[in-house]
Amino acid sequence: MTTDEVLDGVDLGGRTALVTGPAGGLGTETVRALAAAGARVILAARAISAAEAVAARIWDAHPGAELDILGVDLADLDCVRALGDRIADRGLPIDILINNAGVMYTPFARTRDDFELQFGVNHLGHFALTTALLPALIAAAERSGVPARVITLSSDAHKAHPVDLADPNFVEREYNKFVAYGQSKSANALMTVELQRRFGDQGLRAFAVHPGVCATGIARHMSRDDMAEMKRMAADTKNSLANLKAIPEAAATSVWGATAPELDTLGGAYLADCALGVAAEHATDPETAEALWTLSATLTS
C-alpha cells in the first residue's frame, strides 16, 4: 500500500501532527500525506531551509495545507527541550507524534550531550521529545476523545542486536556501527512498549514501525562493504532486502499506525507492511523496557 491508499477517505481536519525528520525521504512523504488528508502538520526539522523547501512543494500541490516549521536537533537535548517548551507555550495539543528522524551506520561520533550518535539521536533524542510532549498528547486525547498516537520508527535490524543497558554509549565496548544501529532500533521498540504501559490509560496509543527497505538519504554513510554486511545479517530473513519499497510504500505503515481506528485496542504493537509485525523478544520484554525507560530518564534528565 501507499500513503495515499492508506488515507483514502480519511479526514484529519482539526488534528495536529508533529513529524521529526521532515526534510527528506519518509519524513517528507509522511508530512505530505497527513497534510493532504487535512491535518495541521508541524515539521520538526534540524535543517530549516530544507524543511521550508518541502513545505513550498506541498503548498504548490495543496494550497490549503496547514504547515508549521519548528527547529529541533535531536543530538542536542537543550534544543529538544526548547521545542517542547515552544509547543507548551503555544498551548498546542498534539494528536499524532511521528518519531521519524534517524541516522544509520554512522562513523563513531558523540552527540552534544556525549551520547553515542546513533543511540543518542535515534532513541534518546526521541525519548526526550516524546516525554516533553506528553502533556500535549494527553491534552489532545482529552479534547477529542480519540487516543493520541505516538509512532516511532524502528527497523527489523533490531533483531540482530539488543540494547546493552550496561554500556549503551560504547564507553567500554569497541564501537561497531551495526551493533549501535541495531540496539538503537531495539530501543525504539522497547520505548514503545513502556510508553504504552505507562500512559495507555491516559489516552495514548504507541506503536513501533518497521518501514521496510527503501532507498533514502539515511543510507548516505553506507559503503559497498556495509551493504555486503547487511546482506549477511539478513541472510536468514527471506527476501528482506530484495523487497525494495518506493518511498510512498515505505511511509505507508507510519500513517497507517497514526490513523487506523482498528489499532485503538492494540497499543504497544510492532507494525510492518500496514499490519501487525513480530519484533524480537529482546525488544518487547516488559522488564527490559522498564529498565531502559529508567536509564533513559536518568541520561536525559
Catalytic residues, by residue number, are 175
DSSP 64-89: T-EEEEEE--TT-HHHHHHHHHHHHH
**Alpha-helical runs (H) found in the chain:** 3-6, 25-36, 48-61, 77-90, 117-118, 126-132, 134-144, 177-199, 224-233, 247-250, 252-259, 286-300
How many CA within 13 A on the CB side of residue 28?
18
Sorted by sequence, the CB contacts under 8 Å of residue 127 that are 6+ apart come out as: 191, 296, 297, 300
In the structure grid, which three cell numbers stand for residue 86, read together?
515552544
Neighbours of 248 (CB within 10 A): 20
Provide the Cα torsion 111, 80, 147, 3; round to 10°: -70
Answer whether 117's CB lies under 8 Å from 106's CB.
Answer: yes
Q: Which amino acid is at 14?
A: G
- Give the DSSP H/E element, type plus range, for residue 245: strand 244-245
From the centroid of its chain, how far is CA 273? Answer: 16
Distance CA 107, CA 102 (A): 14
